[in-house]
A and B are shown apart, each in its own frame.
Chain A
Amino acid sequence: MRATFPHMGNLYISIKAMLQYLGVDVVIPPPSSKKTLALGVKYSPEFACLPLKLNLGNFIEARELGADTIIMAGGCGPCRFGYYAQIEHAILKDLGYEMELIVLEPPERHASELMVKIRHISGSRSWWQVYQAVRFGFQKARTVDDLEMNVFYTRPRELTQGNADAAYQEALKLIDLASNPAELKESRSKAAMIMKRVAMDEKKPVLKVGVIGEIYTLLDPFSNQDIERRLGSLGVEVNRSIYLSEWINDHIFLGLAKGLRSKKEACSAAHPYLRHFVGGHGQETVGSAVNYARAGYDGLIQVFPFTCMPEIVAESILPVMSKDYSIPVLTLIMDEHTGEAGLMTRLEAFVDLLDRRKTVKEAL
């Protein structure tokens, strides 16, 4: 078996860690690129959302590298994603790619349901080994998330443009290369050192923006046109409403790990505006918006793929919330278009708006 899985930002680092720890032969698809997108668009239904198109592109490119088994997440609606594994498998079959499909459905009662699936993938590994592998994957996710938060802070304050990103890439590579928990510990402190070397202006006034919305476009820089990096270079410190480790903890471990922001927090904050689950992360988007506003953030940016129903629900609620808390919200919809001029115009204008508001507020 040569297993592959779709990209979603830095997700590959922790999945790869988990599978390789179990001795599974892993094929990482090439990083999502214009070619991936072109392949996905060519073979996907036109009205499907961007994640499906990129998933499909990833699978085709992984197949070219010799992958024969797809590991894909499932779900149970109302978001369409729950059905994507089946659709993608069917499309690949039509294209003549016979690949085995393993769908990881989110556990309903206990994380052990997932362990059973993972054990099946690993062949005959012991329960203890499976547990250790999942733990190792999770540790990597947390390490990567810490690194991302670090670069969110560093980017707007760097003295020379590009330094923070160069350091971030270098540190990310180190973490990816660690093959066991002991090595990971070492890489983590090395990564911290690398980030520390970036010269910063700590006193520089920066704007704080919360990025909220649909998980794939939030976590995947290719699909959101590098919005976090662009904001960083405009002098904005960003925070994101979903980090990978939080998502794993909420949906796979069902909240077992302590000390992380939880889905519950976000959903309860959404309460006056949206009291129901509407699929995907619609409720979390509204709730996180409220939490960021309460935490004194200067503005919010919502991102989601074109035609994403849960986020459209959230989008139509955000203006009310925005007025109540007097916090500007910008919505950006991601699709096949890759023209960066339009995105930059919106981001710059939004940052100008936040900047002027802040100046007026501080003058009062």
Chain B
Amino acid sequence: MKGYIGIDVGSVSTNVVFMDEDGIVRDPIYLRTQGQPITAVQKGLRKLRESMPPGVKIRGVGTTGSGRSLAGIIVRADAIKNEITAHAVASSTLVPGVQTILEIGGQDSKIIILRSGVVSDFSMNNVCAAGTGSFLDQQAARLNIPIEEFGEIALKSKTPVGIAGRCAVFAESDMIHKQQMGCDLSDILAGLCEALVRNYLNNLGKGKEILSPVVFQGGVAANMGMVRAFEKALRLPIQVPTYYNVMGAVGAALLAREAVAKKGQSQFKGFLVSDTEYKAGSFECSGCANQCEVVEIAEGGIIIARWGDRCGKWGNVINQKEKIS
């Protein structure tokens, strides 16, 4: 069997998938990043190798997510792409004809508009993180309900209460107010979902034409309460794809396939990556008042990448050949 690996290193989770040559996704692995992207990538690859039959050949590797550059350097990826492109590629391949992608992850949310299979517009939350997975997580923890049951409870609601969705802080005080008034928990959770959807559509969806088929992906798509709130607000059916929580990784694998087809062969280092020691160090540059935190990645004592400097004096030296895109 031959195939491609896709790695998505996000703020909250690190996902690794294997996609065979026919585009069938196998073994999605979903790990918590826990602030250690290098370890998460190594762990993910180790798990993947263990779950695969012997003799599998890796034709290419792609990385995406906010940790894409770091992961890309470590595995020597064939494609290093931003998560918007990766999500769009994955959706348009798995859900042919998709015209709108709603994506809500741990720290960010985005909307991607596609027409005829090509991204025509997108938007990503900018100065506000209200309505992302972290906020839902935090509220679930405050109410002492497991996040997995959040959606199920919200679905039981018959009369969702009104909650201010503009700002997470106001939303929380509104929720507490409703809870102290004696409102039903399911009504509060459903109300919160509707508030977040309103915030999302006002923030990201403004001026955009949301057409069916609509796909909802990212970790928050597991929350049925959110799915129902989107259906109610948009008056359109919402599809949640099977691999909704690893779509970025699927997209990265697809992009790797594209890149390798162009180049001829992969530069993947192989699974030994999981056993090699990588060290990330940092130092403060004292060249100017910016005092940039420069990060260095070392593989067995040799520095293989540097970034974080505004002026490029450290990064350019190392990265001159391999442009980090």
Is B316 an interface residue when CB atoms closer than 8 A count as contact?
yes
Q: Which of A31-39, A108-116, A240-248 binds B? A: A31-39
Is A233 an interface residue when CB atoms closer than 8 A count as contact?
yes
User: How distant is B220 from chain A, measured CB to nearest CB, in Å?
Assistant: 18
Q: Are A353 and B312 in contact, CB atoms less than 8 angstroms apart? A: no
Q: Are B291 and A328 in contact, CB atoms less than 8 angstroms apart? A: no
Q: Are B66 and A352 in contact, CB atoms less than 8 angstroms apart? A: no
Is A278 an interface residue when CB atoms closer than 8 A count as contact?
no
Q: Which of B83, B116, B325 has the most CB of A within 10 A?
A: B325
Contacts of A335 in B (CB 8 A): 127
Q: Which of B117-125, B157-165, B182-190, B227-235 binds A? A: B117-125
Contacts of B310 in A (CB 8 A): 226
Closest to B289 in A: A33
In angstroms, Cα B61 to Cα A198, docked, is 34
Query: With A31-B288, A33-B288 in contact, is A345–B124 under 8 Å at CB?
Result: yes
Is B297 an interface residue when CB atoms closer than 8 A count as contact?
no
In angstroms, Cα B210 to Cα A45, docked, is 38
Secondary structure at the B interface, as helix, strand, loop or mixed, is loop
Digitize A333-364: 1 where CB-to-B-CB distance is under 8 Å, 0 elsewhere: 10101000110111011101100110010000
* Contacts between the two chains (Cβ within 8 Å), count: 84
Closest to B66 in A: A341
Contacts of B54 in A (CB 8 A): none
In angstroms, Cα B112 to Cα A350, docked, is 11
Secondary structure at the A interface, as helix, strand, loop or mixed, is helix
Interface residues in A, total, Cβ within 8 A: 37
**Contact of B325 (CB < 8 Å), options: A33, A165, A316, A348:** A348
Kindly state the interface size class of chain B when it binds its partner: 20 to 34
Q: Are B312 and A165 in contact, CB atoms less than 8 angstroms apart? A: yes
State which residues 51-85 of B face A: CB under 8 Å.
Answer: 66, 81-85
Is B296 an interface residue when CB atoms closer than 8 A count as contact?
no
Query: With A31-B288, A345-B83 in contact, is A234–B120 under 8 Å at CB?
Result: no
User: How distant is B203 from chain A, measured CB to nearest CB, in Å?
Assistant: 11
Closest to A307 in B: B127
User: How distant is A226 from chain B, measured CB to nearest CB, in Å?
Assistant: 7
Is B319 an interface residue when CB atoms closer than 8 A count as contact?
yes
Query: With A161-B323, A344-B82, A349-B82 in contact, is A34–B290 under 8 Å at CB?
Result: yes
Contacts of A337 in B (CB 8 A): 127
Q: Are B289 and A349 in contact, CB atoms less than 8 angstroms apart? A: no
Closest to A339 in B: B66
Contacts of B8 in A (CB 8 A): none
Is A124 an interface residue when CB atoms closer than 8 A count as contact?
no
Contacts of A97 in B (CB 8 A): none
Q: Are A346 and B119 in contact, CB atoms less than 8 angstroms apart? A: no
Contacts of B300 in A (CB 8 A): none
Digitize B150-182: 1 where CB-to-A-CB distance is under 8 Å, 0 elsewhere: 000000000000000000000000000000000
User: How distant is A156 from chain B, measured CB to nearest CB, in Å?
Assistant: 12
Contacts of A234 in B (CB 8 A): 325
Q: Are B289 and A34 in contact, CB atoms less than 8 angstroms apart? A: yes
Q: Which of A35, A161, A318, A337 has the most CB of B within 10 A?
A: A161
Contacts of B82 in A (CB 8 A): 344-346, 348-349, 352
Known: A162-B316, A328-B121, A353-B121. 19 other contacts (CB 8 A): A33-B288, A33-B291, A36-B289, A160-B320, A161-B320, A233-B323, A319-B207, A333-B126, A337-B127, A342-B124, A345-B82, A345-B84, A346-B124, A348-B84, A348-B85, A349-B119, A352-B85, A353-B120, A356-B118
Task: Provide a sorted-by-A list of 23 A–B residue pairs whose CB atoms are within 8 angstroms.
Answer: A30-B289, A33-B288, A33-B290, A34-B289, A35-B289, A162-B320, A226-B310, A234-B325, A319-B208, A328-B121, A331-B126, A341-B66, A342-B108, A344-B82, A345-B66, A345-B83, A345-B84, A348-B81, A348-B84, A348-B85, A349-B85, A352-B81, A353-B120
The 6 closest A-B pairs by CB, nearest first: A319-B207, A349-B84, A33-B289, A162-B316, A348-B82, A33-B290
